[in-house]
């Protein structure tokens, strides 16, 4: 949820709560004012009736409301001795409405001459259910208006105020440290955004400097380590060609050469992993994955034939992926080579390409692999001297870089799947 919508949600909830409280208070205050106004009107009508009775005694015998808003009943002093003005709500049948409607009634008493009279005066009042309904609709429209006002405020005023923040977010989203690009911060007069831009600029510069230093270190390490290793191997190979060496010395020399070559492969694999982790493979293009797999299988055909292993490819889907070509080749080379190396002699490796997935299945004498450690660095299924234990780690790093799901399952056969549709963990 966006920040503006998040704040709008809380504004709407607070407004609703505040309006509910306001509505209850306003309702009772308004009701109190209505009663005060009605009671004042009834008192005024009482005075008018009493004054009129003094001038026109004939109204003293008006005992029903059929032709007016008051009634007068003769009484005795003993009955009205303790009578005070009293106001109450009641119902009266209204001819125009043909129903009973609420009225406000004033009961009082007065003296005229030597006689005493009870006086009842009525006036129509607003029905409470109508009042509540009107008030509810009024508050509802007020709430809707306020919410719409808040939305307009957020999307017009606040959006303009937060523009530097969203501009920064968008530039950070598109920032690519591999390209060593800089960010042009939008000018703003808001102190907090100025501070944010300053701190982000410092962090980015520090990250870029660290990336450059790490990249330089990897390049230097690659050169400084590979060169002496290559020289040492060449000199030892020349030494091995000399005839005066005894078989024992030749065996020792061969062991040293084998370990140096393994160190060379290990160094290359670790440097490759470092480059992948540091995202130093910038160049990308739209690749035809089945075409790359077919080429890799062709390159390994002699090796597979030497082990009397058949590689079967069935392709029912055209998979296109925008990625670095070298990394794509390394990914499937490691998986296919791993299948050939660990497959049983005289077996078949099946590669299937369908439903945007590439599956590589092989039979092996080893049982189910530990999927918790399978993609860890230096994990080895056996003690093969030529293995660095980094092939699957490199494949997993490449898959993660491009959001591919590299998974492993076992059901009589070892099955590795590269899923181009989603990103998930190995199972």
Calculate the alpha carbon distances from 175 to 172, 281, 285, 340 in Å: 5, 16, 19, 41
Cβ pair 92, 83 in contact under 8 A: no
With beta carbons less than 8 A apart as the criterion, state whether 318 and 291 touch. no
Q: Where are the domains of the chain?
A: 3-148, 193-277, 285-419
Tell which phi-psi region holds residue 57, choosing left (phi > 0), alpha (psi between -120 and 50) or beta: alpha
What is the fold of 285-419?
A: Heat Shock Protein 90 (3.30.565)
pLDDT recorded at residue 330: 86
Cβ distance 418 to 358 under 8 Å? yes
Q: Are 168 and 59 in contact (CB under 8 A)?
A: no
Q: In which residue are the tokens 């509505």 written?
A: 23
Neighbours of 81 (CB within 10 A): 9
Query: Would you state the structure tokens that stand for residue 242, as one six-digit string?
Result: 């000399």
**The token pair that represents 14 in the structure block:** 């607070």
Contacts of 229 (CB under 8 A, 6+ apart): 260, 263, 264, 267
User: Sheet harboring 115-124: ordered strands across?
Assistant: 70-75, 115-124, 99-112, 86-94
pLDDT by residue for the chain (427 residues), tens only, comes to 566 666 777 777 887 888 888 888 887 888 888 888 888 888 999 999 989 888 888 888 888 887 678 898 888 888 888 888 898 888 887 777 777 888 889 999 988 888 888 999 998 876 556 667 777 778 888 888 887 877 777 777 776 777 787 788 888 777 766 666 677 777 877 788 788 888 888 888 887 777 777 667 766 666 666 667 677 777 777 777 766 777 777 777 777 777 776 677 666 666 666 666 666 666 778 889 899 999 999 888 888 888 889 998 888 778 888 888 888 888 898 899 888 888 888 889 999 988 888 999 988 777 777 666 777 766 666 545 555 667 788 888 888 888 888 988 888 888 999 998 864 443 3
What are the φ and ψ backbone dihedral angles of 379, each rounded to 5 degrees? -80, 130
CA–CA dist 5, 228 (Å, integer): 61
pLDDT computed for residue 44 by the predictor = 92
How would you classify the pairing of strands 285-288 and 115-124?
unpaired
> pTM surpassing 0.85?
no
Enumerate residues 6+ apart whose C-beta is below 8 A from 187.
164
């Amino acid at each position: 949820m966006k920040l503006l919508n998040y704040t709008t949600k809380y504004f709407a909830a607070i407004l609703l709560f505040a309006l509910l409280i306001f509505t209850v208070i306003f309702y009772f205050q308004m009701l109190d004012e209505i009663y005060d106004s009605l009671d004042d009107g009834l008192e005024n009508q009482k005075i008018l009736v009493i004054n009129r009775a003094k001038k026109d005694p004939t109204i003293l015998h008006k005992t029903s409301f059929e032709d007016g808003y008051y009634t007068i009943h003769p009484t005795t002093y003993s009955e009205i001795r303790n009578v005070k003005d009293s106001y109450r709500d009641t119902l009266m049948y209204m001819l125009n409405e043909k129903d009973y409607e609420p009225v406000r009634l004033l009961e009082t008493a007065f003296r005229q001459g030597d006689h005493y009279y009870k006086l009842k005066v009525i006036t129509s009042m607003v029905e409470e259910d109508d009042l509540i309904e009107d008030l509810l609709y009024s508050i509802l429209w007020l709430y809707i208006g306020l919410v719409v006002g808040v939305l307009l405020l957020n999307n017009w005023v606040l959006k303009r105020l937060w523009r530097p923040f969203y501009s920064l977010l968008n530039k950070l989203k598109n920032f690519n440290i591999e390209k060593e690009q800089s960010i042009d911060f939008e000018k703003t007069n808001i102190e907090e955004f100025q501070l944010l831009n300053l701190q982000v600029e410092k962090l980015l510069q520090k990250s870029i400097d660290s990336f450059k230093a790490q990249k330089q270190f990897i390049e230097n390490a690659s050169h400084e380590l590979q060169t002496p290793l290559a020289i040492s191997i060449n000199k030892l190979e020349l030494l091995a060609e000399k005839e005066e060496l005894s078989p024992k010395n030749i065996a020792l020399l061969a062991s040293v050469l084998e370990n140096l070559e393994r160190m060379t492969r290990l160094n290359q694999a670790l440097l490759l992993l470092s480059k992948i982790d540091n995202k130093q493979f910038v160049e990308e293009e739209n690749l035809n994955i089945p075409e790359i797999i077919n080429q890799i299988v062709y390159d390994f055909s002699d090796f597979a034939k030497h082990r009397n292993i058949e590689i079967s490819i069935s392709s029912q889907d055209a998979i296109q992926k925008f990625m670095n070509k070298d990394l794509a080749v390394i990914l499937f080379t490691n998986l296919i080579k791993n299948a050939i190396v660990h497959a049983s002699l005289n077996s078949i490796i099946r590669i299937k390409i369908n439903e945007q997935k590439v599956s590589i299945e092989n039979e092996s004498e080893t049982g189910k692999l530990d999927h918790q450690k399978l993609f860890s660095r230096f994990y080895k299924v056996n003690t093969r001297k030529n293995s660095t234990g980094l092939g699957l780690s490199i494949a997993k790093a490449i898959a993660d870089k491009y959001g591919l799901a590299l998974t492993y399952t076992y059901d009589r056969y070892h099955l590795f799947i590269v899923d181009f549709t989603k990103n998930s963990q190995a199972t």
